[in-house]
Structures are given as structure tokens and as C-alpha cells.
Copies of this chain bind each other. A is one copy, B any other.
């Protein structure tokens, strides 16, 4: 019984290995961290990681965090395509929370339309201190 079910064609070996590392990680991982963790599985070069990540991002199973140059597994249980994702990134503990908010999406769409901009993808990354770290 797997925690994730996917509509995508079955993952290739490398894609599955990379996704596995991201899934069991507590927080975001850099491509090179993933590489180091997978050396025991035979990984030798960055491209093996980057190629898998490209596909996983394309499938919507992994998100890239632009402000960290790192990657996280999508937190949605079924990994189905979701419009836009926003992320809250704690600068103290590194925890990343994936947020979905229709009002935010609407506002971004309105902003784009107002200037005739054809929106392809939105990057929303909130930086700050998470509730746990604030309390501590």
C-alpha cells in the first residue's frame, strides 16, 4: 500500500529513486544533496538527478523552490495537477508548507490580465518564521 497514487506512466528507476528521497525528506533538498544520498544506488553525476527532477516537476509531483534552489515533493496526496502552489518557507528551521489558495490565484490572474500578460506559471514563496519556531 503506497501513500501516493499516480496517474502518470510508471516512473522510471531514476525518477522513482529521486522521488523517494524527496518523499521521505523532512524538508526541501538540493539536487546535489539528492545526488549524494543516491550514490549508494549507483548515481554518479548531477544530470542523473536533474533529468529525473525535470520529469517529476513536469508531472507535478515535485515543486522547485526558486528562492532556495531546492526541491520538495508535492504535499497533495494524489499529486493531481493543481493550479498554482504557494510555499511558506521558515528561515529558521527550513520547514516548507505548501499552500493552495483560490483567492490568491484569482488575484494573480486578475493582475496578469489587467496588463495583458499571459500567465504561464506563478512563483509565490513566503519567507519568514513558522509558528513552531515563533513559539519556541
Contacts and interface: CB of A to CB of B under 8 A. Distances in A.
A31 interface: no
Interface residues of A, number: 33
Interface string A95-136: 001010101100110011001111111111111111100100
A117 B103 contact: no
Contacts of A91: 120
The quantity of this chain's copies bound in the complex is: 2
A41 interface: no
Given A123-B127, A124-B122, A126-B122, A88 B107 contact: no
A67 to B, nearest CB: 4
Nearest to A121: B127
Contacts of A103: 107
A33 to B, nearest CB: 19
Contacts of A125: 66, 122-123
Contacts of A112: 88, 126, 128
Given A88-B115, A121-B127, A124-B124, 13 more contacts: A66-B67, A88-B117, A112-B126, A112-B128, A117-B126, A117-B131, A118-B129, A120-B127, A121-B126, A121-B128, A122-B125, A122-B126, A123-B124
Interface of A: 66-67, 86, 88, 90-91, 97, 99, 101, 103-104, 107-108, 111-112, 115-131, 134
